[in-house]
Each structure stands twice: as structure tokens, then as C-alpha cells.
Amino acid sequence: MGGFYKATCCDIAALYNARMVISIGGMIFSFPRNPSTRRRPIARLKRASSLRAVQWTARGMAIIALALAAAVGAAATRPVILVVGDSISAGYGLPPGSGWTALLASRLEQQHYAFAVVNASISGDTTAGGRTRLPALLDQHHPAIVVIELGGNDGLRGTDLATTRANLDAMIDASKKAGARVVLVGMKLPPNYGSAYTTRFDALYTDASKRFNVALVPFFFAGFAERNDLFQPDRVHPTQAAQPLLLDNVWPALQPLLGKPR
């Protein structure tokens, strides 16, 4: 589960004597139980057929509501990493919550980086689609970091590379003007597209990263592109087993932008 769930879930730490102790998001609260249930034997509570066996007092509910509001507010103030990508980042063909962006959220939590991950990736998206969607995403999320993982579908469709270049440039420029730092995720094309086209396509990402001075992931599939066992039957989309490898390829470019762990 992600940090938001952890921060807002109620964990009943103890029920003893006349008081109820509850831990919410690391904060401890203690308050009286309803007098009508104070002296009931535990055995009778276990035999009760409904949740009405233990009745929360109005005071207790108010404390919980305030604590939850505080926890949600704290989560909402975390800086955002916005991922704008295609089906690779959208988790095409994968169980929900198993894609590399979900693994990124878990790694950030485990390593104590106080960031929220917003995955705005859409299967089939192109640089043109991303360029169109990005302004609204920037206005909505005010990201600290934008990860741009687009262009693969442009190349597979034989899009004019001048158009792809202009779209990537516009997305990077808009992100930087919005105050975000950028990670550009590069992709490569199969050799059957011809050496001239694939060479020009590969150069798109390197050139853009240099011109705009942004972090670059040279090749998203680095280290496993030739392993058929790590791709779904379409040979385009990585399997669940490959998701940690995708994250490991992004991490060296992303981590320096995160600052110090909390």
C-alpha cells in the first residue's frame, strides 16, 4: 500500500479498561469508551453480532475525524512527481498497482522521500497527446518533477521526427516554466525501421536533454530489451517481472532531483 493509505488508516492499538487507545498516522489518542460498554466482559463483545457491540463516543469520533483531516492534509502537501507517459508507464497488461510507477511510490516511501507520485500515463499516447494534456496537468498538480516518457508510439507509427522533436521541446519547456524539474525517458526503435530513421529517433532524447539541461534516461529498456521472457506476447510491453528493471533504469536520473530523505 502507498503512503496515503498508511497515513490515513486507523489502527486500533489497544482496548483496555475504560479507555480506548488509537494510533492514526503515528499519532496516539486515548479517550473513554461509551459507558454502556465499559464494563462488558470481552467474551460478550466477541459474541456480539454487529459492530454496535463497541460504540464510539462522540468525543472519540471527533478526535478521529480531526486526526484523519490532519493526515490527509499532510499527504496533500507532499511535492508531486508527475509521470506523463504511454502504455509502458500506464501498466498495459499488468495487474493493477504492479507497474513501475507504483514501485516508485513504494521506493520513495521506503527510502523516506516525501513525494507523491501522480501517474498521468495513457495507453497509446504520443508526444502530440502529451503536449495537449500537459498544461492542464501542470495546473492541477503543480509538480516538482515531471517525468516525460513519450515518443515510442511516434516512432512506431513513423511520425515525422521534426514533429516529435517540437512536441518534446514544448513539454520540457512548459514543465520548466511551471517550476518543475524534468526527467526525459528515452526509447529506441527496432532495426527494421531503417538505420537512418532509428538513428535520428535515438538522437531526439539526447539532443533535447542537452539543449534544455534536463536529466535523461538514455534507454528505458536498457539491460533487458533482448529478453523475450520479460515481454508480453506482443513483444512491446514489458511483463510484471520487468517493472523493477524499468524503475532501476529511471532511478539514477530521478534520485538526484529528490533532495535529502526526510
Q: Quick one: average pLDDT of 183-212?
A: 96
**234 counts as catalytic:** yes
Q: Is the pLDDT score of 176 beyond 60?
A: yes
Single-letter amino acid, residue 21: V
Q: Are 1 and 12 in contact (CB under 8 A)?
A: no
Amino acid letter, 118: V
CA distance linking residue 244 with residue 104, whole number of Å: 9
Round the average pLDDT of the chain to a whole number and report it. 82
> One of 86, 121, 209, 237 is an active-site residue; which one?
237
Q: Pick the residue with more confidence: 226 or 63?
A: 226
Distance of alpha carbon 90 from alpha carbon 209, whole angstroms: 23
| pLDDT score recorded for residue 153 | 97
| DSSP-derived 3-state class of residue 126 | coil
Q: What is the pLDDT of residue 116?
A: 98
Number of other residues whose CB lies within 10 A of the CB of residue 233: 9
Overall pTM > 0.95: no
Instruction: Determine the pLDDT at residue 66.
Output: 55
Q: Tell me which of 139, 160, 229, 234 is the catalytic residue.
A: 234
Return the CA Rg of the chain: 24
The torsion angle over the Cα atoms of residues 214, 217, 220 and 221, rounded to 10 degrees, is: 160
Say how far apart CA 110 and CA 137 lie, in whole Å: 27
Cell matching residue 199: 538513428
Beta carbons within 8 Å of 213's beta carbon, 6+ residues apart: none
The DSSP secondary structure of 53-110, one letter per residue, reads: GS---HHHHHHHHHHHHHHHHHHHTS-EEEEEE-HHHHTTTS-TT-SHHHHHHHHHHH
What is the average pLDDT across 124-138? 98
How far, rounded to the nearest angstrom, does the alpha carbon of residue 189 sit from its chain's CA centroid? 26
Q: Which of 68-77, 134-143, 157-166, 234-243 has the least mean pLDDT?
A: 68-77
Domains of the chain: 3-75 (no CATH), 78-257 (3.40.50.1110)
pLDDT at residue 186 greater than cutoff 80: yes
B/e letters for 64-73, b = 16+ CB within 10 Å, e = fewer, are beebbeebee
| pLDDT band (50, 70, 90) for residue 36 | very low
Question: Could you confirm whether 125 is annotated as catalytic?
Answer: no
C-alpha grid cell, residue 177: 516554466
Flag the least confident range among 60-69, 103-112, 251-260. 60-69
> Which pLDDT value is given to residue 262?
85
Tens of pLDDT, residues 45-74: 455 444 454 454 555 555 555 545 444 444
Asked whether residue 192 carries a pLDDT value surpassing 80, the answer given is yes
pLDDT level of residue 5 (50, 70, 90 thresholds): very low
Catalytic choice (87, 89, 121, 175): 87
Q: State the burial class of residue 1 (Cβ atoms within 10 Å of its Cβ: 0-12, 13-18, 19+).
A: exposed
